[in-house]
Amino acid sequence: MSNKTLGLDTPLYKYLLSVSLREPDILQKLRQETATHPDSAMQIAPEQGQFMAFLVQLMGAMKTLEIGVFTGYSVLAVALALPKDGKIVACDVSEDYTAIARRYWDAAGVSDKIDLRLAPALETLDELLAAGQAETFDFAFIDADKVNYLAYYERSLQLIRPGGLIAIDNVLWGGRVADSQMQDKNTAAIRAFNQAISQDEQVILSLVPIADGLTLALKREPRTQVLG
């Protein structure tokens, strides 16, 4: 019994995966290839990908947004969970990273679900808003440069429908957010983001201690005024 979240040592983490992870072969192959990449630390954990796919299916999402693609694991996990006519707008700036992603999306047969936008994400998000796509997305995942987290969140909140969900990665930042001696720009940015979103009454909030910390922000439905 415990009245706080357990810390997972290596044996317990392996046990967790052994009894819960249902990773399709194509995702496992992508994860294994990414593990050999010089920037492999940017890869999300497989149980996190499965959790996000679970959320997408649970809410019946049809249209999703991803900010920060890397080699495409999270996009692929979500794409596999979406129905055949589901769509993902995926934002990244790296042709090199996303070339790997494209190979696996093609192999999995989900490329037709994915609209990859290679441009600074804020530009893409502003273009979506200008095109009248506010409140048309069901789900968004933010996992890009940390200094722009708050700007990504603010725009995603406009793009997500009421009752839609935003997931934000790396909010525990390897524990550095709780270390007052850590004052680098990324740590400071995540601290500022966490503080800001904790006060945002536009959303219902939960920070889930999975992988490097995943904040879930559910956009509130508009309140209806009862007359009488």
Segment 18-43 mean pLDDT? 97
The span from the CA of 171 to the CA of 156, in Å, is: 17
pLDDT digits (tens, 9 = 90+) for 55-99: 999 999 999 999 999 999 999 999 999 999 999 999 999 999 999
Contacts of 76 (CB under 8 A, 6+ apart): 26, 27, 30, 101, 104, 105, 108, 110
Segment 177-206 mean pLDDT? 97
Segment 105-128 mean pLDDT? 98
Residue 228 has pLDDT above 60, yes or no: no
Q: For position 224, what pLDDT does the model report?
A: 56
The span from the CA of 92 to the CA of 117, in Å, is: 6
The span from the CA of 44 to the CA of 68, in Å, is: 11
Mean per-residue pLDDT of the chain:
95
> What are the tokens at 93?
């700036």
Quote the percentage of the chain above a pLDDT of 70: 97
| Confidence band for 5, pLDDT divided at 50, 70 and 90 | confident
